[in-house]
A and B are shown apart, each in its own frame.
Chain A
Amino acid sequence: MSKHPIILSEKDSVAAAEYALGVMQGAARVNFARRMETEPALAAEVRQWDEHFTEFSADIEDVTPPQHIANALEQRLFAPSTASKMTWWNSLGLWRGLTVASLAAVIALGAWNLRPISSEQNDKAMVAQMLGESPLKLAAFYNPANGELRLNRVEGASHAGRSLELWIIAGKEAPISLGVLSDAAFTKVNVPMALREKFEGGVLAITDEPLGGSANGKPTGAVMAAGPLTEV
């Protein structure tokens, strides 16, 4: 990670305020958010401004939201046996909230160096933070240049006598299997040429399957973890 000054320049300090206020927009806002991931001093400055500015919100009147929102949240977050009945599109809702900020967690989770040796090679490298209702948590790093997908299982494991199968989902297409994960914490998958185009804007998902994987090429078990691939 790049070295950061402990004391911010006035320019950065003001920029942090502008970011917190919301006046910064477009590319500037996106770039600043990226900087915040790798510069803790900057993130801390924004946080300080957020804390000060919250006082403004005391003047915003409370408005009771309609009941259907609470119902929708119940369904989306807590629906019973959601896993077995979940369609792929419902499960995508879980990570719609993933923002640029969460990439920091992915980069921190990865035990390998995600910085490319040559910038051309990893021009469009992608990462995914795979999460779900279960304790299973993985970080994924995909290099389109050679079709190499690397997975780091941070937490969780397959259920006894069952396997974890990995899928790539492109758009609204049916999930395609990338194989069964081994018990090792680090897994490397060489993605076949024919499947590589699915990775851009795709979602990686892991389901709980019978030992050896699904017998019919389609997911049969619960979604244990999933995450959208985003460009680094």
Chain B
Amino acid sequence: MSPSEIEKLISRCGLGDRAAFRLLYAATSAKLFGVCLRVLKNRTDAEDVLQETYVKIWHNAAKYQVSGYSPITWLVTIARNQSIDRLRSRKPDAAELTEADEIADTSSTPEQSVMLGGDVERLRVCLDKLSPGRAEAVKAAYMEGYSYQELAERLNQPINTVRTWLRRSLISLKECLSS
């Protein structure tokens, strides 16, 4: 399903169209569930958060038009924010940590049921301009929902060091993305 079709479904949800919601769920839930699982690393939590995500999607669909977001980003951002909020409120030992905790380079793109659309290459190009290891760390922070504390632990660096170079990386990224 294309982004513009997704967008139409979201708009229809905003009008209370239940059929549109069901179609939207069918088209996007696998993607959002993947996002939740990746951040939460716990099936039960991810299932809970997925449900909360779609309740939120339903109740906020009317505001989507004025949000300025592109449709997939809007959906993914809701799912991610819900997941991160749950992650932060969870006790540390509740997570089932998987082997995917290492900060690995995952540059392969599996087939997606939902296309992102838009200018997807820019971030990749700009990331490549960062010093080695930086791009992976930025990506890991996004994918796994790491806090500065967790990022510092995984990189085995003092938190202030991590904060400094991450900020520098983000400034570089911004310059590249804006050009």
Contact = CB atoms under 8 A, between A and B. Distances in A.
B59 A51 contact: no
Nearest to B115: A58
Interface size class of B (residues with CB under 8 A): 35 or more
Given A22-B141, A22-B146, A54 B110 contact: no
A18 B120 contact: no
Interface stretch (A68-76, A113-121, A145-153, A177-185): A68-76
Contact of A22 (B69, B80, B113): B80
B31 A62 contact: yes
Nearest to B29: A65
Interface string A139-173: 00000000000000000000000000000000000
B109 A65 contact: no
Interface stretch (B4-12, B50-58, B90-98): B50-58
B174 A72 contact: no
B122 A52 contact: yes
Q: Classify chain A: how many residues form its interface, as a range.
A: 35 or more
Contacts, number: 152
B9 to A, nearest CB: 15
Interface in B141-179: 141-143, 145-149, 151, 166-167, 170-171, 173-174, 177
A21 interface: yes
A55 B120 contact: yes
Interface of B: 18, 21-22, 25, 29-31, 33-35, 37-38, 47, 50-52, 54-56, 58-60, 63, 67-70, 72-73, 76-77, 80-82, 84-85, 88, 106-110, 112-113, 116, 118, 120, 122-124, 138-139, 141-143, 145-149, 151, 166-167, 170-171, 173-174, 177
